[in-house]
Structure 1
Amino acid sequence: MSFGLAQPLGLAELQATFAEGLRYRAQGEACDIIGGRFSAEERLQIYRNNFVMSLTEVMQATYPMLREVLGEECFNALSREYILRSPPTEGNVSHYGNHFDDVISQFEQVTDAAPYARDLARFEWTLDKAQQTFGQSEKRSLQPLEAIHTLSEQQHLNVILHLDSWVFPFTSEFALFDLQRAFSQQNFDNLILNNAQSGVIACDEYGRPWTKELNNQEYQLLLNLSSEMPLGRIKPEALAELPSLIALNIVAGFSLATPH
């Protein structure tokens, strides 16, 4: 016999409903929050505020330059929008903040005032991703670069140089490598943002991120190596830049492509 009493929520359902409540998609009563001096909705709002504030701090740590150029009020408002749209899916938030640029692109007042904001978000996320990836080498059997001299001339054509997994090409219509340098030196006097720049974002041996602008041929070679293209298929003008890229210590080793 049923008396119409509400059944208590199961743990999984309660967690899912509470997560929706944090995003303003469920009310306090639906989250099984018991009211008292404060109503269930008021209590839920406290959780919401703490939820947004803690994740905003994560976003501020990931995007310090973007926060500076947009101003704290604007940055925090965009972060709140991102947090409510894309809450964390795990307890570890050290990897949180990907695709923030997609949210920025939807606010014309922001992109009109700072056209480079979306690319700057991509730039800072790539810096963060390099740190996240550092030390996580893929399990693959590579030969050390020093062994290349033991290969025949024909084998050289089949050499595939593998970049470290924490090495990323980056390109933008804006001079973001110069902007980063201006921030580090706190000198913006000669900064011209409307210049396209391409380069590499990586980590040093201690896991500290670094960046370097590359010329067109260096960047093309970096893209070729990133796509694991055999040396024999790379254009000679780009391949001529190989010594300069190897000097950056971003190549993990090499393998040989299987001849077709």
Structure 2
Amino acid sequence: MGKSQSRNLALRQLQQDFAAALHYQPSPVTDEIADGQFQAEQLIQIYRNNFIISLSEILEVVYPSVKAVVGEECFSQLARQHVLTCPLQQGNVSHYGEGLCDTIESQPELSAAVPYLADLARLEWSLDLASRAPAIEPSFPFHKLTQITEANLPTLKLVVPEPTYVLDSRYPVASLWQMITDDQIEPIDLNQPESVIIQHRPEHMEVRATTPDATALIRLSQQQQTLSEASEAMLTILGELIQQQFFSDIHGLPKGE
């Protein structure tokens, strides 16, 4: 093994040891820090606090509605728990935040007090992912609809622009998210199930409350399945989804389409 490779391995091990120390895991990294005005463990604690604060601030940006629901103090504790149990896997912290829903569900008291919170977190994570991608320009070729017949309908495939995210919830998470975002809280039945379609449109984030049949049709199309696999309920809502331009094209029509 060459000297350069040995140095790289040593550096990588040091980075891993330091990351472990930041997450309160056993680590020999304090042996590598020379004592000065502060002892090694004190220095690690300073780094650790800054590390947790920095990632918590990112979580605040990604999950503003979750924070609004539980309050600053509870969210701070939740964020700290997430940072310590879900280590940063790469140097780019801007993509940090996945899995807060799992951290919420790992706390029975919180899940019992706010049963919709985990799904609200799932919605906000999908929103964050969609916001990083280029906006989807609605461009469905409506003229192709005139060529659809009962005979060729089962052979057709709908194209879903990427990224498009869907979510099925036992709670009205899209309506809750909209009320919190608009700061217009109204009475709502928290036991009303709601499905959601999320796309990044040119001028806004599209968060459409819909039905499980609609999200099932989106998933079927994302899997490049033909409409022969769609249920009657899915076909019933097809026209509405096309009108709302959640699809970008339709394949399988006769030549000359």
Is the CA contact 1:95–1:132 (under 8 Å) kept in the aligned structure 2? Answer: no
User: In the TM superposition, what is the alpha-carbon distance from 1:63 to its structure 2 partner?
Assistant: 0.4
Alpha-carbon distance change, 196 to 11 in structure 1, aligned in 2, over 3 angstroms: same
- Gaps spanning 5+ residues in structure 2: where? 1-8
- 2:127: which partner in 1? 127
Which residue, out of 243, 251, 255, partners 1:247? 243
Matched, 1:29 2:41: no
- 1:189: which partner in 2? 186
Q: Spell out, residue by residue over 1:70-119, the C-alpha distance to the aligned partner (whole angstroms, 9 max, x if none).
A: 11111111111111121221122222111111111111221121111111
Alpha-carbon distance change, 135 to 188 in structure 1, aligned in 2, over 3 angstroms: closer
- 1:54: which partner in 2? 54
- 1:200: which partner in 2? 197
Instruction: Provide the alpha-carbon RMSD of the alignment.
Output: 2.7
2: CA distance, partners of 1:247 / 1:85: 43
- 1:73: which partner in 2? 73
User: In the TM superposition, what is the alpha-carbon distance from 1:34 to its structure 2 partner?
Assistant: 1.6
2: CA distance, partners of 1:102 / 1:185: 26
Alpha-carbon distance change, 151 to 104 in structure 1, aligned in 2, over 3 angstroms: closer
Is the CA contact 1:126–1:201 (under 8 Å) kept in the aligned structure 2? Answer: yes
Is the CA contact 2:127–2:205 (under 8 Å) kept in the aligned structure 1? Answer: yes
- 2:38: which partner in 1? 38
Alpha-carbon distance change, 77 to 91 in structure 1, aligned in 2, over 3 angstroms: same
2: CA distance, partners of 1:216 / 1:64: 26
Matched residue count? 243
Q: Which has the higher helix share?
A: 2
User: In the TM superposition, what is the alpha-carbon distance from 1:14 to its structure 2 partner?
Assistant: 1.0
Matched residues, percent identical? 29
- Gaps spanning 5+ residues in structure 1: where? 1-8, 137-142
TM-score (norm 2): 0.83
2: CA distance, partners of 1:183 / 1:35: 49
TM-score (norm 1): 0.83
- 1:176: which partner in 2? 173
